[in-house]
Amino acid sequence: MAIASGNPTVMSASTFVIQVDGIKVATFSELSGINTEVESVEYISSGPEGILHTKQYGKTKPPTVTLKRGLDPETYMWLWHQAVLQGDPLARKTCSLQLFAASSSPKSGQPIITYLLENAWPSKLEIGGMKAGATEIVTETVVLHCDQILMQPAG
């Protein structure tokens, strides 16, 4: 695997869109994180030079994606999470997460980068605290787990 180097361009995104089967199902204003992790395991061996301590690849953890948005009347994410709660095996969906630059929008432009989330499912859905008479925006936070995340650069 080759690792690209050179003059990197810093990305700035303003909109994050989840698509399932090519259909936009939700738009988010914040991507809190895309997390992938491989645990390290200490490996101890002995030989003619004595005891050698090294780190090896360990267990991989399922990737997670955390998104936030202002609560709106769209119910796709809620219904998808309800299917997970009911144990529906069809609730695992391969979807895309598209990042749009501030200068473009999902309606007018192409995403600057797309992540493909294989067998994704919303493990957590949280509606932010509300207070009667308050003027704060009510937020919805969604945590997606998936088997694998593939990156698809634009162009």
Residue 5 lies in a domain: no
User: Whole domain around residue 55: which residue ranges?
Assistant: 13-153
Whether residue 6 is contained in a domain is answered as no
Query: Helix, strand or coil for residue 132?
Result: coil
Over its C-alpha atoms, the chain yields an Rg (Å, rounded) of 20
Domain count, the chain: 1
Does 69 fall in a domain?
Answer: yes
Find, among 37, 70, 35, 57, the residue nearest to 145 by Cα. 35
Over its length of 155 residues, how does the chain's per-residue pLDDT go in tens digits?
444 555 556 666 789 999 998 899 999 999 999 999 999 998 888 878 778 778 889 899 999 999 999 988 889 999 999 999 999 999 999 999 999 887 655 555 788 899 999 999 999 999 987 778 777 888 899 999 999 999 987 76
**Is residue 143, in this structure, part of any structural domain at all?**
yes
